[in-house]
Amino acid sequence: MPNPYPIELRERAVTAYEAGEGSYERVADSFSVCSRSLVRWVARARDLGSVAPSKKGGGWHSPVDLEVMHAVVREKPDGTTEELTRAYNRQVPKARRVHRSSFLRALRRCGYVFKKTVRGPQRATDRMCKPSSSRIWCGPRP
């Protein structure tokens, strides 16, 4: 959501409309705002006596309990996200269990960093010795 227009602009636009300088569309055009915004500002000034914007709302809160999460990480600092999530879900009530992706987002927000590890055999698409050389393989034999 974008930031609200400055209160000074709102007050000047509402004052101009109420002074009879024109219709909503004409006053809105002169202040380079949407006419619907001006309609809301005028209604707000009449109802509340102020054109100040409301607080921003919405958003969501993480379902992860941070204290439990930190305790789980202290117990198993080298665990994978799957292992940490399972340990977390064993310690919280059933209604508060979370998915691995939610747990990972909470870990990242708290500043935890994970190393990427290679699992399984190396792929055959490793780097060649020299790009201009004939296809000589430098990596392990597949």
Higher pLDDT, 91 or 1: 91
Q: Which two tokens stand for residue 23?
A: 């219709």
Q: Is the pLDDT of residue 127 over 50?
A: no
Chain centroid to CA 78: how far? 27
Task: Report the pLDDT averaged over residues 19-31.
Answer: 95
The alpha-carbon radius of gyration of the chain (Å, integer) is 29
Parse the chain into domains and list their residue ranges: 7-48, 66-109
Helix-strand-coil percent breakdown of the chain, rounded to 5? 45, 0, 55
Helix or strand run (H / E) with residue 106: helix 100-109
Average pLDDT score over the chain: 83
Q: Is 4 exposed, middle or buried (0-12, 13-18, 19+ CB in 10 A)?
A: middle
- Tens of pLDDT, residue by residue over 49-101, are 999 998 887 788 889 999 999 999 999 888 888 999 999 999 999 989 999 99
For residues 39 and 23, give the distance between their C-alpha atoms in angstroms, rounded to a whole number: 10
